[in-house]
Amino acid sequence: MSGQDFSRRSVRRQLSGEGLRPKKGLGQNFLTDASVLYDIVDAAALSEDSCVLEIGPGMGVLTRQLAMRAALVTAVEIDRTILPVLEKNLSDFSNVTVVNQDILQVDLEALFAKQFGDKPVSVVANLPYYITTPILMKLLEAKVPIKTIVIMIQREVAERLAAGPGSKEFGAISLAVQYRAEVEPVRDVPPEAFEPMPKVWSSVIRLMPREKPPVVVTDEGHFFRLIKAAFAMRRKTLVNAVSHEASLGATKELLKAILQDMGFDEAVRGECLGLQQFAQLSNEIIAKRLSK
């Protein structure tokens, strides 16, 4: 895959040359559409002094473009067998470091300190569908200087991350991500843009980590347990779902009273409340429990 040759034929040729095939277990679908590639890089808004963490570089198609625009690129790749292809395709670049590890097992604080010091970092990734959420939450919860996150994920998941109250896609993951970052859609990507072709569409989205959450909560742990309980049984009313979680300290009577003060009917479901409402509900439960 020298130069800009990353056609479907080239992908197959390079893999077969190393006796390799895409691994379904690792969600390997290699990008072969130049327009998608350039849209991802543009969304990252890199400059010549930028630092980049790429997750899952695969054969290095995206890595090459990142290396052309950024000062430093660290690429974390779990698949040891694809390293010969990756390193061959990156041989022209001295500003790329390949780390052969599972990103979910990596100590991000240590990695950032070693590779980037205290400089802000842009994260770019084509994430395997089956581990999108744990990787994303690890990035958003880590105490590291992430400037922006540009990821390509399954379109259905992207819709959930950006969803608002009242929509069928809206859920606990929507609130967890939006509490920590602003979510912006970039573009949709058809299955034909990959080799091999996945069975579903993908989407590129950009997340801008927040300096501080958009709502004030008394107890963050309580706040997220409340959200989890509210969506654990979507068909149940919020009152019935939340009152079953003993650690929240909220009886049906207390929940009904608070919801009424907030202007909601007692039959409301969790999917109708946004970040502000869940924060208010959590804070009120704690305040009323402490006042007893």
pLDDT tens-digit map of 117-130: 999 999 999 887 78
Closest CA to 217 of 261, 169, 266, 175: 175
Give the pLDDT of residue 96: 98
Taking residues 193-201, report their average pLDDT.
85
Name the H helices within 172-219: 172-180
The SS3 assignment for 225 reads helix
CB under 8 A, 24+ apart: contacts of 156-164? 156/200, 157/129, 157/132, 157/133, 158/185, 158/202, 158/203, 158/205, 159/203, 161/136, 161/205, 161/207, 162/205, 164/274
The pLDDT > 70 percentage for the chain reads: 89
| 25: pLDDT strictly greater than 90 | no
Instruction: Please name every residue paired with 183 in a beta bridge, in sequence order, or none if there are none.
Output: 207
What is the Cα 278 distance to its own chain's centre? 22
E strand map for 177-288? 181-189, 194-195, 202-209
Question: Are β-strands 72-76 and 51-55 bridged in parallel, bridged antiparallel, or unpaired?
Answer: parallel
Residues in the chain: 292
Residue 43, both tokens: 């969304």
Mean pLDDT value across the chain: 91
| 1: pLDDT strictly greater than 60 | no
Contact 150, 69 (CB under 8 A): no
- Higher-scoring residue by pLDDT: 12, 263: 263
d(CA 150, CA 36): 12
Instruction: Please name every residue paired with 42 in a beta bridge, in sequence order, or none if there are none.
Output: none
Taking residues 129-155, report their average pLDDT.
95
Contact 116, 76 (CB under 8 A): no
List Cα–Cα distances, 241 to 41, 229, 264, 269, in angstroms: 43, 6, 16, 9
| pTM for the model | 0.90
Contact 173, 180 (CB under 8 A): no
Amino acid 112 reads F
